[in-house]
Amino acid sequence: GSLCELLTKLGPAFIKAGQALSTRPDLVSPVVLEELSALQDQLPPFSNTMAMACIAEDLGAPVKQLFNQLGDEPVSAASLGQVYKGQLPDGRAVAVKVQRPGLREQITLDLYIVRNMALWIKRYTRFVRSDLVGLVDELGTRIFEEMDYIHEAENAERFANLHRHNQRIAVPEIHRHLTNRRVLTMEWIEGIKLTQVKEVKALGLDPEDMINVGVNCSLEQLLEHGYFHADPHPGNLLALADGRIAYLDFGMMSEVQRSARTGLIQAVVHLVNKDFDKLAKDFVGLGFLTQKVDLKPIVPAFTKVFSHALEGGVSRMDFKSVTDDLSGVMYRFPFQVPPYYALIIRSLVTLEGIALSINPQFKILGAAYPYFAKRLLVDPDPELRNSLKEMVLSENSLRWERLDDLLGSAARSQGLDPEALVDSTLNFLLSDAGSKVRSQLVGALVDQLDTMGWQVACRVGQRLPRRWQLHGLQDPAPLPGTPPAMWDVLGLFRKLPYFEPAMLWQSLPRLLGEPVVHRMGLQLAQDLAERGVVRLVRDILLPQQSLLPTESTPAS
C-alpha cells in the first residue's frame, strides 16, 4: 500500500520502524497493522565498487588477497546491506554480507527525527498510551546491534551452540578472520526456501515435516533457551537436501527471561481451561497490563475473543484470526506490548505465514501444543508443576481425558524422552502438588479391587451347595460409576513412543521406599476394609436376616 511505499522511500530506519509497529496492536489500529505486515525489507542494491572498497577497508587487505573469487553482483539486497557469493583460497564457498555505505550516519539522523516526532506526540497528544519515545530508543538499540556484524557473528555462534544437539538444524559457520563491523563472512549454504514446495518435494522431503521441525525449533528457542531468532522470513529458512533446516541472518535476535517463559506456558494452560480471569492476570504478570488496570471489563472481552476460537480445542485455533481479534482488544484497553513479545508475535506470525503457503489448513497452535504438553509433563519447575495440577485436576477430581490428551500430544512432540516423562510423572505424583491425584488413584484402586473382589465372591458363592448360598451374593453386577482402572494409567503411557512397561517397574524400589507411598498403602487397606464391612452388613447379613424363619415362614 501507499504507507509501505512511503516508508520504503524514506529509508532503512523508517522500514525498521514500520516493521516494529506491525507487531504493536497497542499502538496502531488493526487496519494499519494489516498494511504494515506486508512491508518488505528490500531496497535496490548499491554499487559493487563501494561494496569492494568497504570490504578492503574493514578487513585490511585487497579483496583479491582475501577471496579466490567474489560475485560480480549481489545475490540479495536489504535495508542494511547486501550479500555476495564468494570462494575462499581453500575452495570453500562463502556468503559475504557488506553494509550499505554511510548507513550509520543515515540511521542516526533518521532516528533523531523519529525520536523528536515521538516526543512531540507524547507531549501534545493523549491518544497514544504506550511510551513511544521508549519504543524508538528500543528500536534504535536493535538497529545499531543489527548494524554491528561482529555482534551478529556472536549471535550465530551462540545459536549454533544452543542447538548443536539438534540433528535437524543447520547454522552456517562464521569465518571470524574475514568478519568486522561492516563485513560478515560465513559458510555458503545451498538450500531451497521452504515456500518453494515443488522444489522441496523434488529433494524427497516432506514440506510439512520441515515446517514442524521449524515450529519445534522456534518453541525450543522461545520457551527452553529463551534466545530466539526474531526474523524467520522465507529467505532466512532453507530446506537442505539432507533434511535439515538452515537458519540464516542472526542480526535480529531476542531474549526472554525465565519468568516470562514460564508465564507464557501458564497462559496457555489458562487458555485451555477457559479460565479467563487467570488469563487476564497472566497478562499483568507478562507486562502487558499494569497492576493498576481494572481487569473486570477485560475478562468479558477475552471471553468473547477466545470462547468461539476454542470450540474445536486449542490445537485447532487459528492463530492469525485470534491475534487479529486480540489486536482490537489491545487497542481498546490500556495494553502495552513488551518489546520481547512484539518480536515473538512477529516470529510466530511469519512462521505461520510460511506454513500456510505450504498447507492452507496449518494451525501453528496445533503444531505447538505437543511441545507445550511435553514441557508441562517433564519440566521440574515448581510453577509448571502447579500449572500441570491446574490442567489435570478439576476441584477434587482427576480429569482423565485431559491427562490422556496431554500424554497423547506429548507423544507427538519431537525429542520426547519416555524415561524422563516417567520420572517426572512420579516426581509430580509424590509431590505436594500431586496429593489430589494420589487420592484419586487410591480411590480408583479401591473401587477396582472392591468390584473385583465382590465379583469373585459372587461367582464362588454361586458354586456353593444351595443350602450354603448367601442371598446377597447372587448378583455379580459391578458398582455403578466406577472410575478408570489403575491400569488405565499404563494404557496412557503406552501411547508414548519407545515406552516399555519395564520403565515403570524399574521405579518400583524407589516407590516402595517413599513415605507417601506407605501412606497410600495404609489408606488403600483402610478404605478396602471399610468397603468390605459395608458390603458384609448391607449385601450379606441384612438380606439373610430378612430370610430368617418366622412363624409364617417355615425354615427350608
* Of 344, 367, 422, the residue nearest 210 (C-alpha): 367
Q: Is residue 22 part of a domain?
A: no
Average pLDDT for residues 169-188, to the nearest whole number? 97
pLDDT at 118: 84
Domain residues for the domain of 490 are: 432-545
CA distance 365 to 323: 12
Q: Is residue 455 part of a domain?
A: yes
Most confident of 306-315, 324-333, 440-449: 324-333
Angle at 377 between CA 376 and CA 379, to 5 degrees: 70
Specify the range with the lowest mean pLDDT, choosing from 34-48, 404-418, 519-533.
Answer: 404-418
Tens-digit pLDDT profile for residues 228-238: 888 877 788 89
Q: Is residue 497 part of a domain?
A: yes
Q: If DSSP codes are grouped into helix, strand and coil, which group holds residue 248?
A: coil
Give 396's pLDDT tier (boundaries 50, 70, 90). low
Average pLDDT for residues 368-396, to the nearest whole number? 78
Q: Is residue 465 part of a domain?
A: yes
Give 178's pLDDT tier (boundaries 50, 70, 90). very high
pLDDT at 35: 78
User: Residue 171: pLDDT above 60?
Assistant: yes
Specify the range with the lowest mean pLDDT, choosing from 183-197, 323-337, 536-550.
Answer: 536-550
CA distance 51 to 49: 5
Q: Which residues are tagged catalytic?
A: 231
Q: Is residue 314 part of a domain?
A: no
Average pLDDT for residues 392-408, to the nearest whole number? 71
Angle at 149 between CA 148 and CA 152, to 5 degrees: 100
Average pLDDT for residues 480-505, to the nearest whole number? 54
Tens-digit pLDDT profile for residues 74-90: 999 888 899 999 999 99
Tens-digit pLDDT profile for residues 97-147: 999 999 999 999 999 998 998 888 878 776 666 677 887 888 888 889 999
Specify the range with the lowest mean pLDDT, choosing from 88-102, 219-233, 281-295, 477-491.
Answer: 477-491
DSSP 300-355: HHHHHHHHHHTTT-GGG--HHHHHHHHHHHHHHTT----HHHHHHHHHHHHHHHHH
**Domain count of the chain?**
1
pLDDT at 214: 87
Give 446's pLDDT tier (boundaries 50, 70, 90). confident
Average pLDDT for residues 538-556, to the nearest whole number? 52
Q: Residue 14: what residue type?
A: F
Q: Is residue 151 part of a domain?
A: no
Q: Is residue 321 part of a domain?
A: no
User: Residue 335: pLDDT above 70?
Assistant: yes
User: Residue 248: pLDDT above 80?
Assistant: yes
Classify residue 84 by burial, with Cβ atoms within 10 Å: 0-12, 13-18, 19+. buried
CA distance 301 to 503: 46
Q: Is residue 52 part of a domain?
A: no
CA distance 281 to 213: 32
